[in-house]
Chain A
Amino acid sequence: MKTHIEFTHSPIVPPRMEIGAKEIGAQVEFLGIVRELEDVQAIAGLHYEAHEPMARSTIEKIFSELAVLYPCEEVRLIHRLDFVPVGETALYIRVRSRHRRSALRMTEAAIDQIKADAPIWKLT
């Protein structure tokens, strides 16, 4: 499985749709967007910080372990850091696989585990 992990301090631009791969039957994209309300308080955005090298290795391990259960061809993750205004994307994940079930389950399970273990924090 190809794995691309990126941290950026700029607005996330979803990578261009790749077409033409004959073995890809499903592509799932997830965008985590900053909401206006955080604990019922209106905010302008969130500040994200990360232990980048550890976050990268933790996320790589999560994808690699999940790939045993949900075989996929490619995963791409972009996490934005520093200030992310309301309405903008903080997390982008794209999963491509032969079959839809693997891509859907990989996406959901990866998000759950990243939120539990990847050393990334949001501060209001």
Chain B
Amino acid sequence: MQINILAFAQTRIELGFSELTVEVSPTETPRAVLRRIAPDFSLDKSIRVAVNREYSDWDKPMGEAFELALIPPVSGG
């Protein structure tokens, strides 16, 4: 299946993309997908992951997801 990977703020700058479509397996975790597409990217503990627009776990298989978003520390308002 294909999912969109979204990167924002600092992670967008570091990864060099804001959106990327990749082929993934439902059993893959967000951490495994990120390691595959960006092996040199340092996944800091402060970066959260959202799957289908809800906070999730880096080590939880994504299932039939359509979107994975990297959420660096937020600072709205």
Contact = CB atoms under 8 A, between A and B. Distances in A.
Interface in B4-59: 6, 8-9, 50, 53-55
Interface stretch (A65-73, A94-102, A110-118): A110-118
A54 B49 CA distance: 12
Interface of A: 32, 48-51, 53-55, 57, 79, 90-91, 111, 114-123
12 contacts: A48-B76, A49-B8, A54-B69, A91-B77, A114-B76, A114-B77, A115-B74, A117-B55, A119-B8, A119-B50, A120-B74, A121-B74
Interface residues of B, number: 14
B77 A119 contact: no
Given A49-B9, A51-B8, A122 B53 contact: no
A118 B53 contact: no
B61 interface: no
B53 A120 contact: no
A51 B76 contact: no
Contacts of B77: 32, 79, 90-91, 111, 114-115, 120
A50 to B, nearest CB: 7
Contacts of A118: 74, 76
A55 B71 CA distance: 11
Contact of A121 (B8, B50, B53, B69): B8
B75 A51 contact: no
Contacts of A116: 74
A114 B76 CA distance: 7
